[in-house]
Amino acid sequence: MSGVWGSKVKLSIFGESHGKAIGINIDGIKPGIELDLDYINKEMKRRAPGGSELSTPRKEEDNFEILSGYFNGRTTGTPLCAIIYNKNQHSKDYEKTKNLMRPSHGDLTGHVKYQGFNDYRGGGHFSGRITAPLVFAGAICKQILEKKGIFIGSHIKSIAKIEDVSFNMTEIENEILKSLNESKFPVLTEEIGINMKNSIVRAKEEMDSLGGVIETAVNNLPVGLGEPFFDSVESVLSHLLFSIPGVKGVEFGEGFNISKMKGSEANDGFYVENEKIKTYSNNNGGILGGITNGMPLVFRTAVKPTPSIARIQDTVDIEKKENAKIEIKGRHDPCIIPRALPVVEAAAAIAIIQFID
C-alpha cells in the first residue's frame, strides 16, 4: 500500500479509524512560513465528527500535535509531521460483523487485496476518518494561498434532489467565500438549506442516508498555472478529489451539461477590461488547455450516500463463503456532505500549491 502523493509538496498519510492515531507527513513546505494554529484548528473543527444532529454521534476533537518541521512559530523547511489521536472508538461494534462485508464499503476489496490482514474496525485505513490529516495539510496550504490573495470556498449545491443555486461563475466575491467557510451548513439560499437539513433528519429517522454535491470556487488564481495533458489543473485536482472516500464524480465549469450545448453556446468569449483579459461566460470553469485562465476556478464534487446504514442489507460471509444479512451497528453520518466541504477545499488547496512558486 502506498499512502504517498504529490510532486512539489509530497504527502504521506498513516493510521486507521480505530487505531491509536492518524497523521500525515508533509514534505516540501518552504522554511519560514508563519502558521496560524487557530486557523488550522478552525478547519479541523469544520470536519470533526459529533458537531450536530446531522452528523455521527462519535465525538472527536481532532486536536493535532505537530511533531516536526515547525519551530518558534514558523516552518523549518524539513518534513512537517502531525499526529491526531483517536479517543472515542467503539471497536466492539465491529466484532460481531467482522466477516460480513458491508455493502458499498472497502471491506471486500480490502480483505482480498490485503489477504485478510487489514484492520476492519470502522473501515480501518479506508475510513473517511483518514481525511482529518488531509484537512490539516489543506489548512496549511490555504494559509499560504490566502497570503497570495487566493481564496477557496464551497457551498452545498445539493442534498439528494434538493438543489441550491450555483455560484455566479464569472464573478465571485471573496467575502462570500469567507462567509461560507464560517457557516456550519453553508448554502447560498437559506430556505433551501432548511429543506436540506429536514431531509437529512428524515433519512436518519428512516435508518437511511443521503448523498449530495459540493460546489467549490477558487478566486484570484493567476493565469498560467498547470500543464497540458498529464499535469493539467483538472487532472491533478481530480486525482486528489477522487482520493476522498465516497467521491464518485467531479466536473469543472458546466461539466457534463456542456455536452448539451452548441459550440456557440459553450465557448467563453473574451474581452478586455482594465488591460486584463476576461471571459463573458465561464463554462470551462477557469481552465483552458489544462491551464488557469484567470477566471474563477469552479468545480463540483459528487459524494455518494453514507454506505453505513442501520437497515438490514444483503451481503456475504467472507469466511463461510455464503450469503448473509447484515445490520450495521455503530455511529455514522446520515449525510456526510456538510463535513466533506473542508476536505474538498483542502484537496483544492493542496493541488493548487503544486503549481505555485
Residues annotated within the binding site for NADP(+) are: 47
Query: CA nearest 209: which of 50, 324, 56?
Result: 56
* Strand ranges inside the chain, DSSP E: 4-5, 10-15, 21-27, 64-68, 70-71, 74-75, 80-85, 151-159, 162-163, 212-219, 247-252, 270-273, 276-279, 287-288, 291-292, 297-303, 312-317, 322-327
Residue 11's beta-bridge partner residues?
A: 5, 26
- As annotated, the binding site includes 47, 125-127, 289, 304-308, 331
Residue 211 contacts residue 301 (beta carbons within 8 Å): no
Residue 190 contacts residue 184 (beta carbons within 8 Å): no
Question: What are the angstrom distances between the C-alpha of 23 and each of 12, 51, 65, 175, 339?
Answer: 8, 21, 9, 32, 18
In this structure, which amino acid lies at residue 306? T
* Strand ranges inside 160-275, DSSP E: 162-163, 212-219, 247-252, 270-273
Q: How many angstroms separate the CA atoms of 36 and 137, rounded? A: 13
- As annotated, the binding site for FMN includes 125-127, 289, 304-308, 331
Separation of CA 25 from chain center = 18
Eight-class DSSP state of 307: S
Question: What are the angstrom distances between the C-alpha of 50 and each of 21, 46, 47, 62, 231?
Answer: 18, 11, 10, 11, 38
The torsion region of residue 10 among left (phi > 0), alpha (psi -120 to 50) and beta comes to: beta
Q: How many angstroms separate the CA atoms of 165 and 186, rounded? A: 12
Q: How many CA atoms lie within 13 A of 223 on its CB side?
A: 8
Alpha helix ranges (H) inside 48-173: 107-113, 131-146
Residue-wise burial string across 229-240, b where 16 or more C-beta atoms lie within 10 A, e elsewhere: eeebbbebbbeb
Cell numbers 500535535: residue: 65
